[in-house]
Amino acid sequence: MRKSFFLYVFVLLFSGMYGIAQNSLNSVTAQPGDGILSLLRKQGYDPYAVYDEFITLNHHVLQDSVHLIAGKVYLMPDAPLATVTLVDSIQKQATKIKEIESVSYEIFGEKNKTVIAKSERLKGNVYYLVSGHGGPDPGAMGVYAGKTIAEDEYAYDITLRLAKELLAHGAMVYLIIQDENDGIRDDFVLEIDHDEVAYPDKTIPLNQVARLKQRVDIVNDLYKDNKGKYQRLIVTHVDSRSVGQNIDVFFYHHEHSKNGKKLAESIHKTFDAKYKKYQPNRSYAGTFEDRTSLYLVKKTHPAMTFIEIGNIRNAKDQVRIVDPDNRQALAKWISEGVLLDFEEK
């Protein structure tokens, strides 16, 4: 696969898909070690296609809104089984297929490479996604289950999941940091490597200022190329604080950017609403505020938000980061905030 990876949407429109392979199971009992993604996959679903419906059906028997409880019975979505694995055969049988434009989605990994359209709500919009650190710099480090974990791997996984969500709504997405080998991963401990590159295939410098300047230059050059289009930048990091400090997801923006502030506020509003729905006994303490001192916030041209996911050294925050169900929820919630930002413009 070539490292230069410019994402477009590949939309399948066909009749009868949702009448294929309807699930005959109404419920299933969670076993020890099951997560939402693994449970859905074991039952034959594309877990990402039905994730939200599963959460809605079972929110009253989920721990912290995203965790299964062993021994509890969970309702299964009324949706086609193994949607992604059926795509090839469906394409051969379908009479109505519309290909807007597509490239390989190998960047998402073999299990997740197919993007099926949910809507065209973001059609024509351009989003630049930057995951923190990468290449020679793993970023903040922590220890989970006796193993070292690195910020760049988790920020990248969340960013990939976010990219897939935005693509599914018709957006044009640029992944500014890329790793052709990783894809979306459902592991708790993500293996650390140093082979990430910057779009399209640039070696990431070790020097911090050079590394940040490289990202700024890439984004600003693309911003000029896409002049006249609706453009936004989302930067994702994982913070590092004292071991005892538990923090919520929070957002930064440029002090003079009304659109950047609105983007940060829209995602923040979405997170606040999700916490009230799924964790009503726990207040959400995340904030959105200007932080123009940050290099990427200060120097990049698109309206943007800089997201800190949590403290990689804190045990409670680590659960938010290492659990793949949580990473999927984070990406989904961010994407819903992005939709809110655009549709309330």
Domains of the chain: which residue ranges? 22-75, 119-343
Other CB atoms within 10 A of residue 149 CB: 24
Buried-exposed string 183-204: b where 16+ CB fall within 10 A, e elsewhere:
bbbbebebeeeeebbbbeebeb
Q: Where are the beta strands (DSSP E) in 139-254?
A: 141-144, 147-150, 172-175, 177-178, 197-198, 202-203, 231-239, 250-253
What is the distance between the terminal CA atoms of the chain, rounded to a whole angstrom?
Answer: 38
Both tokens of 227, joined, read: 């002049």
Residues in the chain: 345
Whole-angstrom Cα distance, residue 245 to residue 240? 9
Name beta bridge partners: 203: 197
Whole-angstrom Cα distance, residue 167 to residue 119? 9
Residue 239: the pLDDT is 92
Residue 80: the pLDDT is 61
Whole-angstrom Cα distance, residue 337 to residue 316? 24
Other CB atoms within 10 A of residue 88 CB: 10
Domain 22-75 has CATH 3.10.350: yes
Series of mean pLDDT values for 10-residue runs along the chain (345 residues): 40 33 66 89 84 83 81 86 43 41 72 86 97 97 97 98 95 97 96 97 97 98 97 96 85 97 97 86 88 97 97 92 94 96 89
Other CB atoms within 10 A of residue 62 CB: 20
Q: What angle do CA 269, 156, 195 make, to 5 degrees?
A: 165
Domain 119-343 has CATH 3.40.630.40: yes
User: Pairing relation of β-strands 231-239 and 126-131?
Assistant: parallel
Q: How far is CA 18 from CA 142, 167, 170, 315, in A?
A: 43, 21, 20, 41
Whole-angstrom Cα distance, residue 47 to residue 26? 16
User: Pairing relation of β-strands 177-178 and 231-239?
Assistant: unpaired
Q: How far is CA 70 from CA 26, 28, 66, in A?
A: 18, 11, 13
Residue 17: the pLDDT is 34
Other CB atoms within 10 A of residue 3 CB: 15
Which pTM value belongs to this model? Answer: 0.80
Task: Taking each helix axis as running N to C, give the angle between helix 324-343 and helix 151-168, from 0 to 180 degrees, rounded to the nearest 10.
Answer: 50
